[in-house]
Structure 1
Amino acid sequence: MIYTNITTIKHFRVIGFPGLLPQYHGPMSALLLLTFLSIVLGNVFILVFVSCERCLHKPNYIIFCHLAVTDIGFGFVTLPKVIARYWWDDKIVSFGACFTQMYFVHSLGAIHSLILLMMAIDRFTAICIPLRYPALITNKIISIVCGMFWIVTFIRMLVVLVHALSLPYCNSNMIVQCYCDRISVVRLACKKDKYIEDVAFGFSMFSLLVPLTFIIFSYFAVIISVLKISSSEGRYRALSTCTPQIFITCLYYIPRCFVYLAYFLGFQFPNTDMRIAVILLYSLLPAAVNPLIYCFKTKDIKEALTKKLKSTKIGFDIKASH
């Protein structure tokens, strides 16, 4: 094959799981559709419930709402196309649409990581320096900081997008993945550029490791502060406020760190399907599970939800008695 420095590819073909037999395409599309609906409905419920309950208009719940928005956005960016791929065998994605998807996939992932950082800072301030909490952590400050995370990240990720677009694509157009991400797309370029690879790798490490470093420090300091509390009831109450955030953070970071560490140590997945399944699992599972964690592990939301359900039940009983 003769390689040129001119992009000749007009569209890409999303392969998904290359080893998945056609008879399993229907069940796979149904599973992905259920995942998509659980992500959207669960996180929209959190957004609406927090908005309607004035007792939840607090900084940590504003952070939850930003996290829910990133989960909804990631679901809409990735899942409809892969569902169509298995439901209608629609593998084609245009050149521009693929790069747009890649841009939002990495932008939302980086924003999600920063929101988790903000969540850790919120708990660190509340437990380690509680007297300063009302001044340092307010609804306005949280909204401004989280808003800046969105703006700065979308601007920053333009660099990765422009660098990827600057490469010529004239070889294969088969994306062996369920959606367009940078690695899957850039490896199809017919010309490699070490500078572009180094910049993209630096951005990825910055988005993952810098927030993770501060998160680990914050929760480590929180645990030390909690252990110093004399009463067992006080320790339990302090830890209970951190439990949902720690669950959510672990769901997001542990699988990613495992994959990056495995790659660094030279571990190879037995097959491509397993690699794609692991990536999908750590990308989509947190978004689907987070609303359940909010509802069952967050005291204020659980109490507000219980009160709402009880009042609804009483209302139904009164109507029934009449």
Structure 2
Amino acid sequence: MMSEGNRSRVTEFILTGFPGLHPQYYGLTSAVLFLVYVVTVKANAVVFFLFATNKSLHKPVYYIILNVSACDLLFSTTALPKIISRYWFQSGNISFTACFVQMYFVHYLGSVNSFIFLLMAFDRYCAVCHPLRYTAIVTKFTVHILSVTAWIIAIPMPLMIVIRAYPLPYCATNIINHCYCDHVGITVLACTDRTPYSTPAFVGAMIILLGPLAFILLSYCLIFIEIGKVTNLGNCGKTLSTCSTQLIIISLYYVPRCFVYFTSQAGINFSADIRIVIIMLYSLVPPMINPLIYCLRAKDIRECLMKQFYIEKSRFQQFTLNRPVH
């Protein structure tokens, strides 16, 4: 704390993580979170490796998946290390500025994800509803431009809420009941009426969340209408299969977020621990399992993964055969 007259000003925050967690489970919690982080990094690294070593994956749809992997990797790296150290080393302190930097990237990467999922839905809409024009509409150049646009247009809103929240007077408690710094967790600690700041932030979050979601729902409604016109069951099943991977990934992102937002607006309150567990589940589980979904559901990625597996297996067998016997 730093003295300011008769009051003190917060110079650092303390992340509590899961408020009701007993200290005897700190070690287990840190181990689980560390495992989640390691699996997330390795799984998404595999996607990057497969993409870099297989030209067959250099297609527009896989460039979109690559953006999702990049976003997932960055988000986990932003959110997890500090909370892991909180339970591993009992070090939950985070500096005032670092907390706002983390807050920016948490909201920024969430916004990027939302726009990339919109791009995913656009890709499937064109593939199903305009198959003859798909290769002309969804090109590598188009995907690159739209992907870069998604990363750029996601900048202003999180930056605006950070700029508005940073100068607020934080002169009371510095304890954040969360696993990472976010807008709500920080601004509730301000010694002022937060309504002028929280309302625009909430409206902005809803625009970023519900705007792309509205387009996604519309596009999939049109996709299902188009699928309904297909009389051949085999072709119908194949078309559904091409959409299922992206639909699963999009659902994992939007369904729990909408649940938390709308239950809070409806006045349905959860305990702090349950709320944080739900938020951590929808924040950290999708980045970890998305690569698994790609590898199991996307035929090209699955084939490249199996090919790489057999290459590594052959190398290991060759190494074993050539190893000198003592």
TM-score (norm 2): 0.93
Aligned residues: 319
Q: Does 1:294 align with 2:268?
A: no
Contact 1:6/1:170, CA 8 A, preserved across alignment:
yes
Aligned to 1:195: 196
The one-character-per-residue Cα deviations of 1:46-66 (angstroms, maximum 9, x if unpaired) are 112112110110111000000
> Whole-Å Cα distance in 1 between the matches of residues 321 and 95 of structure 2?
60
Residue identity opposite 2:239 in structure 1: A
Over 3 Å counting, the alpha-carbon distance change for 1:314 and 1:86 in structure 2 is closer
Cα distance, 1:5 vs structure 2: 12
| CA RMSD, 1 decimal | 2.0
Structure 1 residue ranges, 4+ long, deviating more than 6 angstroms after superposition: 3-7, 318-322
> Whole-Å Cα distance in 1 between the matches of residues 261 and 149 of structure 2?
28
Identify unmatched segments of 5+ residues in structure 2. Answer: none
Residue identity opposite 2:29 in structure 1: M
Q: Please give the residue correspondences for 1:126-137 in structure 2 after superposition, counting only pairs within 5 Å.
A: 126-137=127-138
Q: Secondary structure at the match of 2:155?
A: helix
Contact 1:4/1:190, CA 8 A, preserved across alignment:
no
Contact 1:5/1:168, CA 8 A, preserved across alignment:
no
Cα distance, 1:156 vs structure 2: 3.2
Aligned to 2:165: 164
> Whole-Å Cα distance in 1 between the matches of residues 46 and 8 of structure 2?
44
> Whole-Å Cα distance in 1 between the matches of residues 286 and 6 of structure 2?
40
Q: Please give the residue correspondences for 1:148-159 in structure 2 after superposition, counting only pairs within 5 Å.
A: 148-159=149-160
> Whole-Å Cα distance in 1 between the matches of residues 14 and 74 of structure 2?
23
Aligned to 2:273: 273
Contact 2:174/2:189, CA 8 A, preserved across alignment:
yes
Aligned to 1:53: 54
Q: Secondary structure at the match of 1:131?
A: coil
Residue identity opposite 2:25 in structure 1: Y
Identify the range of structure 1 (252-261 vs 67-76) with the bigger mean alpha-carbon deviation. 252-261
Aligned to 1:261: 262
Aligned to 2:305: 305
Cα distance, 1:316 vs structure 2: 5.6
Cα distance, 1:242 vs structure 2: 0.7
> Whole-Å Cα distance in 2 between the matches of residues 282 and 92 of structure 1?
24
Q: Secondary structure at the match of 2:111?
A: helix
Cα distance, 1:193 vs structure 2: 4.1
Identify the range of structure 1 (178-187 vs 147-156) with the bigger mean alpha-carbon deviation. 147-156
Cα distance, 1:227 vs structure 2: 2.0
Over 3 Å counting, the alpha-carbon distance change for 1:172 and 1:231 in structure 2 is same
Residue identity opposite 1:75 in structure 2: S
Aligned to 2:146: 145
Q: Secondary structure at the match of 2:267?
A: coil
The one-character-per-residue Cα deviations of 1:62-118 (angstroms, maximum 9, x if unpaired) are 000000011001111010000000000001100000000000000000111111110
Residue identity opposite 2:273 in structure 1: D
Q: Secondary structure at the match of 2:116?
A: helix
> Whole-Å Cα distance in 2 between the matches of residues 187 and 261 of structure 1?
19
Q: Secondary structure at the match of 1:130?
A: coil
TM-score (norm 1): 0.94
Over 3 Å counting, the alpha-carbon distance change for 1:257 and 1:5 in structure 2 is farther
Contact 1:5/1:191, CA 8 A, preserved across alignment:
no
Cα distance, 1:6 vs structure 2: 8.8
> Whole-Å Cα distance in 1 between the matches of residues 166 and 177 of structure 2?
19
Cα distance, 1:312 vs structure 2: 4.4
Aligned to 1:222: 223
Contact 2:8/2:171, CA 8 A, preserved across alignment:
yes
Contact 2:15/2:86, CA 8 A, preserved across alignment:
yes
> Whole-Å Cα distance in 1 between the matches of residues 102 and 317 of structure 2?
49
The one-character-per-residue Cα deviations of 1:244-289 (angstroms, maximum 9, x if unpaired) are 10110111111111112211221111x2111111110011111111
Contact 2:249/2:290, CA 8 A, preserved across alignment:
yes
Cα distance, 1:313 vs structure 2: 4.1
Cα distance, 1:195 vs structure 2: 2.7
Cα distance, 1:136 vs structure 2: 1.3
Identify unmatched segments of 5+ residues in structure 1. Answer: none
Q: Please give the residue correspondences for 1:73-222 in structure 2 after superposition, counting only pairs within 5 Å.
A: 73-222=74-223
Q: Secondary structure at the match of 2:133?
A: helix
